[in-house]
Amino acid sequence: MQVTRDEQDGQRSPSATARRGQIIAAAVQVLAESGYGRATFERIRQRAGISSTRLISYHFGTRDELMEAVLIDIALEAQAAIARRTDGAPTATERLTARIEAELAWIARNPAAVRAMYEICMNARDEDGALRYGTQASAEANVAELAPILRAGQQSGEFREFDTTLMALTLKSAIDAAIVRMTQPPRLSVDDCVREITTLALLATRSTP
Amino acid sequence: MQVTRDEQDGQRSPSATARRGQIIAAAVQVLAESGYGRATFERIRQRAGISSTRLISYHFGTRDELMEAVLIDIALEAQAAIARRTDGAPTATERLTARIEAELAWIARNPAAVRAMYEICMNARDEDGALRYGTQASAEANVAELAPILRAGQQSGEFREFDTTLMALTLKSAIDAAIVRMTQPPRLSVDDCVREITTLALLATRSTP
Amino acid sequence: MQVTRDEQDGQRSPSATARRGQIIAAAVQVLAESGYGRATFERIRQRAGISSTRLISYHFGTRDELMEAVLIDIALEAQAAIARRTDGAPTATERLTARIEAELAWIARNPAAVRAMYEICMNARDEDGALRYGTQASAEANVAELAPILRAGQQSGEFREFDTTLMALTLKSAIDAAIVRMTQPPRLSVDDCVREITTLALLATRSTP
Amino acid sequence: MQVTRDEQDGQRSPSATARRGQIIAAAVQVLAESGYGRATFERIRQRAGISSTRLISYHFGTRDELMEAVLIDIALEAQAAIARRTDGAPTATERLTARIEAELAWIARNPAAVRAMYEICMNARDEDGALRYGTQASAEANVAELAPILRAGQQSGEFREFDTTLMALTLKSAIDAAIVRMTQPPRLSVDDCVREITTLALLATRSTP
DNA sequence: CATGAATGAGCGTTCATTCAT
DNA sequence: CATGAATGAACGCTCATTCAT
C-alpha cells in the first residue's frame, strides 16, 4: 500500500474536505480509545458532533472505505511531518538519522494516531477473513522510504555494502521495538530511544575505515 | 490475573469437560484465523462440528465468559508445558535457561494459541470500553513466574544483585520481541532465538567474578 | 376454579412434598418481588437454594403448572386459615363476620402471597393469549364460599331476603377495596378495615325488624 | 413523572410522527389484548401492518423506550381530552365535577388505552427489578391536577378547609374504584358512576353553611 | 428422587447500508 | 451537500423444555 495522494482529493470542495477531516479525526479518537470493534458509525458520529451517521456513509461510503481513509490520512500526515524534518539534509547519514528522529518524534507526539493505525491493521479484514492491511504492507512502505537513502549512502561511500532491503527491515524492527519501549513500562524517553536507534543505525551502516 | 485451576473444574463431569475442550479448541482456531470480531458463536459452532450455538452458551454462558475460558485454558496449558520442562533443574541458572527455552518452544509449537490469546487480549473489553486483559496482566503473570527463580539465583550466589522485577520484565520483553522475530520476516529459527535470549539472560544476570 | 385438594396429593412422598413446598415458597417470593415476567425458573432456583432448574420442571412439569400449583397452594392455605377461624361460629351472622375478619387478617399477614396470586392472575395466559385465571374465577370461588352462609342466615331469619350471589359479589368487592386501602397510602389499619366491612355487611344483610 | 410534551416532539418530521402514532396504536391494542409479556415487537409489527420489527426499534430505540412512549402518548391524550371538557368552567365546583365526568368518560371510551397503561405500570421494571412506573407516579400526577382546583375552591369559599393533597388522593381512589365497577360485573354504567362520584365529591368538599 | 446434557424457538438489539429526496 | 426513512442480516442471549440416565 504505497500511499499517495488520492486522485479525487483535488476534486473535493473545501467544505467536503473539512467534513472528512472532522470525521476522520473523530474516527481516530474512537479507534484509539474504544478499539476497532467498537468504532461504530454511531460512536464516531457522537465524537464528531454531527447529526446523523448518514453523513459518514455519505462522505466515505462503506465502513471499510472510512477505515482506509483514516489509514491513508494518518500515513500522509506522518509522511509529511517526517519529510519536513528530513528534507534538506545534505548527506545520507544525516538524512538517515533525521528520518529516525522524525519518525520517533511523530510517534511520540501522535499516540492516538499510532494506536488507531494499529487497530485498523490488526482487525480490518476482507470478506474472506484475511487481514486487509497486514504488517507486510507497512513493512513494504517503510522499505520504500528507507532503501533509497541507504542506496544513496552506499553510492556516496558513507555506508558499507549490505542488502538495503534487509537493512531497512531491520531498522523498521528497531523502531517498532522502540514504540513498545516508549509506551509500555519500564518506559524510555523519546530522546533515549532516538539516541539508541540512531547509534545502532550508524554503527550498522557505516563503512569500515 | 494469576491463572489457577478453576474451582468448578473438579466439579465438572468428564463429558462436560470434553465438550468444553472441543469448543475451546474450535474457538482458538477461529480466533487465530478470523480474529476476535469474527469469532462468533456461529463460526465456532461450525468449527466444533456441533449442531447448535446454544451448546456453547450452555457450557460457557456468555461470549465474554467463553473468551475468558479460552484464555485460561491456553495459559494453563502453557504453564503446564513449561513446568514439565523446567522442573527438576537443579540450579537457578539452569532453571532460567530451561524456562526461556520451554517458553519459546511452546510458542513456536502453538502459534494458533498465541494468536488467539493475542486477539482476546487486544480486543476483549468490558462495558466501559476498557481492555479486559491488558498487557499489564500478562506482564504481572510473567513476573510472578520469573522473579522467584531470579531471587533463588541471587541467594545461591549464581546471580548478581539486581531488581528482580525489572529483570523479569526485561526478559519478558526480550521474549516478546523474539515472538515477533520468529513469526515475521526475516524469520529467525526457534533455536536461534533461544540461543540469543538465553545468552542475553545469562550475561545480564551472572554474578561478576 | 373451585380449589380442592389435589388427587395426587396423597400419593406424594413426604420428601417430594417438602421439595414442592420449598419451591413454591421460593416462587411466591420471586413473584412478589420481581413480578410474573421475571419469575423465571432460574430465579426461583436461586431463591429455593437448589442446584438445578431441572428440579423444578421435574416436580411441576411446565411453568404454567408450577404457577397453578402456587395458586392452589396459596388458596388452600388461605382457605384453611380462614376455616380455622370461622369454624364453630354458631350463627350465620357470626360466621359472616368471622369470615370477613379472617380473610382480611390473612391478607394482612400474607402480603407476598397476595401479591403473587395477583401477579399470576393478571399475567398467566393460555396459548390463545387469554387470561388463564381471570377475576371471574376468583369471584366465583368467593361466591361459593359466601353464598351458603348467606342462605343459612336467610333460612334462620337472621338475614333479610336478597340475591345471595349479588350480595356475595358485593362483599367480595368491598374486601378487594379494603386490600387497596390497607396497602396503599393513606393506609388504613387492618382493624379499621375489619370494623368497616363487618359493619357494612351487617347493615346490608340484617333482616328488618 | 409529570407528563409534558417531549422536547424532541417538535423536531420530528410529519411522517415520523405518523409512523410513531401507527406503531403506538398497534402497541396499545396488543398490550390490551395480550398483556405486557406478550407485547413483543413481532406482535406489534403484525398489528401495525408494517414489514419489519426493525422499523419499531428505528423509531423508538429499545422496548422500554417504546413502552414509555406509549405511556406518555396515552397520558397526553387523556390530559388533552379532559382539559377540553374542563376548560371554561367558571367555578371550582363546576371544574371539579367536569373533571370527574371527563375523566370517567375518557376511561369509558378508551378501555384499551386504560388497560395498556395498566399493563405497563404493573409490569415494566428497570434492571434492578423495581417497577418503573409505580402507582405512586400516577397518584402524584393526579394530585398535581386536582389540588389546584381544590385550592381555588377553598379560596373562593366554595369548598371548606381540608388537606388538598389528601382529598385529591381520596378522589383518585374513588375514580379507580369506579373503573373497576365500570369494567367488572356487576357492571355500572358510566353515568351511574359519574353521578355517584360527583355526589361524593361535592358532599366531601362543600363548605358547610 | 434427582441430575446432566442438549436443544429450539424467540426476542431485543446493533450495525452498516440503501432508497429516496 | 445533506438528510430522513427504511431495511436486512446477524448476533448474543434467555427461557422453558426434552432426552437421557
Q: Say yes or no: A34 contacts chain B, CB-CB below 8 A.
A: yes
CB-neighbour burial class of residue C31 (10 A; exposed 0-12, middle 13-18, buried 19+) = buried
Domain around D169: 10-205
pTM of the entire predicted model: 0.88
SS3 percent helix, strand, coil of chain B, rounded to 5, is 75, 0, 25
Please name which of C32, C180, C188, C196 lies closest in space to residue C120, comparing C-alpha atoms.
Answer: C32
Q: Is residue A2 domain-resident?
A: no
What's the mean per-residue pLDDT of chain D? 88
Residue B4's pLDDT is 64
Comparison of pLDDT for D1 and A107, the residue scoring more: A107
D52 touches strand E (CB under 7 A): no
Q: What is the CA radius of gyration of chain C?
A: 19
Angle between helices C41-48 and C14-34 (to 10 degrees): 120
Q: Is residue D1 domain-resident?
A: no
Q: Is residue C2 domain-resident?
A: no
Please name which of A2, A189, A171 lies closest in space to residue A95, comparing C-alpha atoms.
Answer: A171
Average pLDDT, integer, range A91-110: 92
Non-local (6+) Cβ contacts of B4 within 8 A are none
Structural domain count, chain A: 1
Q: Say yes or no: B188 contacts chain A, CB-CB below 8 A.
A: no
Share of chain C above pLDDT 90, in %: 50
Q: Does the pLDDT at position A1 exceed 60?
A: no
Using a CB-CB distance cutoff of 8 angstroms, which residues of chain A are in contact with residue B143? none
One-character DSSP codes across D126-160: -TTS-BSS-HHHHHHHHHHHHHHHHHHHHHHTSB-
Residues 26-55 of A with CB under 7 A from strand E: 38-42, 53-54
Residue A129 and residue B173: Cβ atoms within 8 Å? no
Whole-angstrom distance, CA of residue A33 vs CA of residue A42: 15
Please name which of C29, C176, C193 lies closest in space to residue C105, comparing C-alpha atoms.
Answer: C193
* For A177, nearest residue in chain B (alpha carbons): B177
Average pLDDT, integer, range C169-190: 80
Whole-angstrom distance, CA of residue B180 vs CA of residue B108: 11
D87 falls in which pLDDT band (50, 70, 90)? confident
Measured in angstroms, the CA of B129 and the nearest CA of chain A are apart by: 6
Q: Which residues pair with D131 in a beta bridge?
A: D125
Measured in angstroms, the CA of A177 and the nearest CA of chain B are apart by: 7
Residue B200's pLDDT is 87
Q: Do residues C47 and C30 lie in contact, with contact meaning Cβ atoms separated by under 8 Å?
A: yes
Q: Does the pLDDT at position C2 exceed 60?
A: no
Residue A180 and residue B169: Cβ atoms within 8 Å? no
D50 touches strand F (CB under 7 A): yes
Length of chain C: 209
Average pLDDT, integer, range A59-64: 93
Q: Do residues D119 and D168 lie in contact, with contact meaning Cβ atoms separated by under 8 Å?
A: no
Measured in angstroms, the CA of C42 and the nearest CA of chain D are apart by: 15
CATH number at residue D148: 1.10.357.10
The secondary structure of D152-191, three-state, reads HHHHHCCECCCCHHHHHHHHHHHHHHHHHHHHCCCCCCHH
Mutate to test the interface with D, among C30, C119, C120, C122 (most CBs of D within 10 A): C122
Query: In a 3-state reduction of DSSP, which class is residue B133?
Result: coil
Mutate to test the interface with D, among C29, C36, C181 (most CBs of D within 10 A): C36
Q: Is residue B4 domain-resident?
A: no
Residue D184 and residue C131: Cβ atoms within 8 Å? no
Average pLDDT, integer, range A86-115: 91
Residue C125 and residue D34: Cβ atoms within 8 Å? yes
User: Do chain C and B touch: 3 or more Cβ pairs under 8 angstroms?
Assistant: no
Comparison of pLDDT for D10 and A111, the residue scoring more: A111
B183-208 pLDDT per residue, tens: 776 678 888 888 888 888 898 888 87
C57 falls in which pLDDT band (50, 70, 90)? very high
Average pLDDT, integer, range A47-76: 93
Residue nearest to nucleotide F17 (CA to C1'): C62
Task: Tell me which nucleotides of strand E come within 7 A of a protein CB.
Answer: 1-19
Residue B185 and residue A177: Cβ atoms within 8 Å? no
Residue C35 and residue D131: Cβ atoms within 8 Å? yes
Q: Give the nucleotide nearest to B52 (CA→C1').
A: E7
Measured in angstroms, the CA of C165 and the nearest CA of chain D are apart by: 11
Task: Tell me which nucleotides of strand F come within 7 A of a protein CB.
Answer: 1-19
Cell numbers describing residue A192: 533515549
Q: Does the pLDDT at position D1 exceed 60?
A: no
B90-148 pLDDT per residue, tens: 999 999 999 999 999 999 899 999 999 999 999 999 988 999 997 767 777 788 888 99
**Amino acid, single-letter form, for residue C27:** A
Q: Which of D36, D135, D186 has its CB closest to that of C37?
A: D36
- The gap between A55 CA and E21 C1' (Å) is 15
A137-165 pLDDT per residue, tens: 677 778 888 899 999 999 999 999 999 98
Between residues 125 and 184 of chain C, which touch chain D (CB distance below 8 Å)? Answer: 125, 129, 131, 135, 139, 166, 169, 173, 176-177, 180-181, 184
Please name which of A91, A102, A82, A86 lies closest in space to residue A205, comparing C-alpha atoms.
Answer: A91
C46 falls in which pLDDT band (50, 70, 90)? very high
Residue A8's pLDDT is 60
Cell numbers describing residue D71: 405511556
Residue nearest to nucleotide E1 (CA to C1'): C16
Whole-angstrom distance, CA of residue D31 vs CA of residue D115: 7
**CB pairs < 8 Å spanning C and D:** 48
Residue B184 and residue A37: Cβ atoms within 8 Å? no
Residue A190's pLDDT is 86
Q: Is residue A46 domain-resident?
A: yes
Non-local (6+) Cβ contacts of A62 within 8 A are none
* For C38, nearest residue in chain D (alpha carbons): D129
Whole-angstrom distance, CA of residue D184 vs CA of residue D193: 13
C41 touches strand F (CB under 7 A): yes
Q: Does the pLDDT at position D89 exceed 60?
A: yes
Alpha-carbon separation of residue B172 from B99, B104, C126 (angstroms) = 11, 11, 63
Q: Say yes or no: B186 contacts chain A, CB-CB below 8 A.
A: yes
D146-193 pLDDT per residue, tens: 899 999 999 999 999 999 888 888 888 888 878 877 877 667 888 888
**CB pairs < 8 Å spanning A and B:** 47
b/e code C91-128 from CB counts within 10 Å (16+ = b) = ebbebbbbbbbbbbbbbbebeebbbbbbbbbbbbbeee
Residue A6's pLDDT is 57
Q: Is residue C1 domain-resident?
A: no
Q: Does the pLDDT at position C3 exceed 70?
A: no
Q: Does the pLDDT at position C11 exceed 80?
A: no
Measured in angstroms, the CA of C74 and the nearest CA of chain D are apart by: 21
Comparison of pLDDT for A158 and B14, the residue scoring more: A158
Residue C124's pLDDT is 94
B51 touches strand E (CB under 7 A): yes
Q: Give the nucleotide nearest to B60 (CA→C1').
A: F13
Q: Say yes or no: A33 contacts chain B, CB-CB below 8 A.
A: yes
C62 touches strand F (CB under 7 A): yes
- The gap between A170 CA and F18 C1' (Å) is 62
Using a CB-CB distance cutoff of 8 angstroms, which residues of chain B are in contact with residue A173? 180-181
Helix (H) or strand (E) holding D31: helix D14-34
Q: Do residues A58 and B58 lie in contact, with contact meaning Cβ atoms separated by under 8 Å?
A: no
B96-111 pLDDT per residue, tens: 999 999 999 999 899 9
Q: Say yes or no: C38 contacts chain D, CB-CB below 8 A.
A: yes
CB-neighbour burial class of residue D120 (10 A; exposed 0-12, middle 13-18, buried 19+) = buried
Q: Say yes or no: B79 contacts chain A, CB-CB below 8 A.
A: no
Range with the largest mean pLDDT of B115-119, C134-138, D5-9:
B115-119
Q: Of the given ranges (A175-184, B194-203, C41-50), which has the lowest mean pLDDT?
A: A175-184
**Amino acid, single-letter form, for residue A60:** F
Whole-angstrom distance, CA of residue A130 vs CA of residue A124: 8
Residue B35 and residue A177: Cβ atoms within 8 Å? no
Mutate to test the interface with D, among C29, C123, C136 (most CBs of D within 10 A): C123
Comparison of pLDDT for B13 and D55, the residue scoring more: D55
A66 phi-psi bin (left φ>0, alpha ψ -120 to 50, beta other): alpha
B73-90 pLDDT per residue, tens: 999 999 999 988 888 889
B124 touches strand F (CB under 7 A): no
Instruction: Say whether the peptide bond before residue A209 is cis (omega within 30 degrees of 0).
Output: no
Measured in angstroms, the CA of B35 and the nearest CA of chain A are apart by: 7
Q: Which of C37, C176, C185 has its CB closest to that of D123?
A: C37
Average pLDDT, integer, range D86-90: 86
Q: Give pairs for C138-147: CB < 8 Å, separation 24+.
A: C138/C1, C139/C169, C139/C172, C139/D185, C140/C1, C140/C2, C141/C1, C141/C2, C141/C3, C141/C75, C142/C168, C142/C169, C142/C172, C143/C168, C143/C169, C143/C172, C144/C2, C145/C79, C145/C99, C146/C96, C146/C99, C146/C171, C146/C172
What's the mean per-residue pLDDT of chain C? 87
Which residue is listed with cell 520476516?
B185
Q: Which of B35, B184, B186 has its CB closest to that of A125?
A: B35
Using a CB-CB distance cutoff of 8 angstroms, which residues of chain C are in contact with residue D125? 34-35, 37-38
B209 falls in which pLDDT band (50, 70, 90)? low
A14-33 pLDDT per residue, tens: 788 889 999 999 999 999 99
Residue B125 and residue A180: Cβ atoms within 8 Å? no
Q: Do residues D147 and D164 lie in contact, with contact meaning Cβ atoms separated by under 8 Å?
A: yes
C140 falls in which pLDDT band (50, 70, 90)? confident
Vertex B97: Cα angle to B92 and B100 (nearest 5):
125
Residue A38 and residue B186: Cβ atoms within 8 Å? no
One-character DSSP codes across C165-202: HHHHHHHHHHHHHHHHHHHSSSP--HHHHHHHHHHHHH
Q: Does the pLDDT at position D10 exceed 80?
A: no
Q: Is residue D19 domain-resident?
A: yes
Please name which of C166, C170, C156 lies closest in space to residue C207, comparing C-alpha atoms.
Answer: C156
Q: Is residue A90 domain-resident?
A: yes
A196 falls in which pLDDT band (50, 70, 90)? confident
D195 touches strand E (CB under 7 A): no
